[in-house]
Amino acid sequence: MTEASYTVKGMTCGHCVASVTEEVGEIAGVRDVDVDLATGRLTVASDAPIPAERIAAAVTEAGYVLAG
């Protein structure tokens, strides 16, 4: 199991958190998604490392931006 953290910009409410959690959670191999609204921190636990581009695409699909 591997874990990676990112920062998501543009989230303002619980619905935002749910959207990001749902989109990232649909990526194959993802086991757990934790989103902290206050800090914008997205933590993804997966079977194997997932390319940041795939995480960014899921966050974009949810309507937000993966920082840096």
DSSP at 7? E
Domain limits, the chain? 2-66
Number of other residues whose CB lies within 10 A of the CB of residue 4: 13
Q: CATH assignment of 2-66?
A: 3.30.70.100
pLDDT, tens only, 19-32? 999 999 999 999 99
At 68, is the pLDDT very low, low, confident or very high (cuts 50, 70, 90)? low
Q: What is the pTM of this model?
A: 0.95
Helix 14-25 × helix 52-62 angle, to 10°? 140
